[in-house]
Amino acid sequence: MSPEKGQGKEAAEKEERRFVWNLRPRTLNEYIGQGRMVENLGIAVSAARERGEPLDHILFHGPPGLGKTTLAHILASEMGTRITHTSGPALEKPVDMVGILSNLDFGEVFFIDEVHRLPHAVEEYLYSAMEDFQVDFVYGKGAYAKTLPYQLKPFTLIGATTRAGLLSAPLRDRFGMVYYLDYYSLEELTQVVQRSASLLGVTVPEEGAAEIARRSRGTPRIANRLLRRVRDYAQVKEGGVITLDIAREALTREGVDGAGLDRLDRLYLNVVVERYGGGPVGIEALAATLNEEVDTLADVVEPFLLKMGYIVRTPGGRRIGEVALRHLGLRPDEAGQGRLM
């Protein structure tokens, strides 16, 4: 990739992050969806503030784009404290973890995204830090090795992961609150689209907002991304008003069909049908056929397809679901005769 293209891609990604960040809610009252969880978090925040204590450690898990990072920043704001944001892969050595922990102020939120990817040696330093707010430095070698305890200021660790099953049991058990973020309903996503449109100064009748929501895979992040694309199209074609017809036309041009499936989703389903006779097929074989990373399929593509019944996970591998066959316009006896899209 040329330097110019690399800089252009980096600038586009930076602009995308800024756009998404500006649409994020700032308080629990502004947060849409995940009703019972948000209510419980509000109670926990009120109780902690009354006692003058930090929040208990929290683990958020679920598919990407549902608001785990947003909630971490909201909770820090509600508690009137700072947030230190990092990710599991960024903490390569124990010294990285200890350096951050030793600099946390009282009640500060320490947010670790992709917490399941923490190296084991780094993760071990979290155990005593989360329970006793203490880390132990080991100095010397062999028979002369000694441990020097270092007291930390009480803090709140918030972990986020898309793959809770990969968390070690000792780490998972040290979180006082564990919440699963589920996909949003059509009504909730419609509210998300309408709220974001109002912040952008875009006119979106309810039918247009509902159409964007319907094709957003139950995910607010995708809803906001699609809203941006539809806004651009409406600005050029319809004077900025996102009508139902404009939303449909713009999203179809983007390759997002009426069920919210994009080209990679449809290609995935067609490969299962055409190349593997409807399954079962292992995810490694699918990744090789599609020339995609296994993690991309497991973390990005499959969660929504599994939730909606487009594919079924069995001990022998992935199988095509009847819902997917109907969506592709095939009968069950036509597995193996699909057409790649």
221 is catalytic: yes
69 is catalytic: yes
Give the amino acid at 150.
Y
- Of the residues 24, 215, 217, 221, only one is catalytic, namely 221
252 is catalytic: no
Strand arrangement of the beta sheet that strand 83-87 belongs to: 83-87, 109-113, 156-161, 58-61, 177-180
Distance CA 218, CA 189 (A): 7
- Of the residues 70, 162, 190, 219, only one is catalytic, namely 162
- Of the residues 68, 214, 231, 319, only one is catalytic, namely 68
141 is catalytic: no
- Of the residues 70, 81, 113, 265, only one is catalytic, namely 113
Contacts of residues 322-329 at CB distance under 8 Å and 24 or more positions apart, as own/partner, are 324/269, 324/272, 324/273, 325/273, 327/259, 327/261, 327/269, 328/266, 328/269, 328/270, 328/273
289 is catalytic: no
Distance CA 175, CA 157 (A): 8
CB 240 within 8 Å of CB 208: no
CB 68 within 8 Å of CB 62: yes
Token duo for residue 318: 């992935």
Q: Which residues are catalytic?
A: 68-69, 113, 162, 221
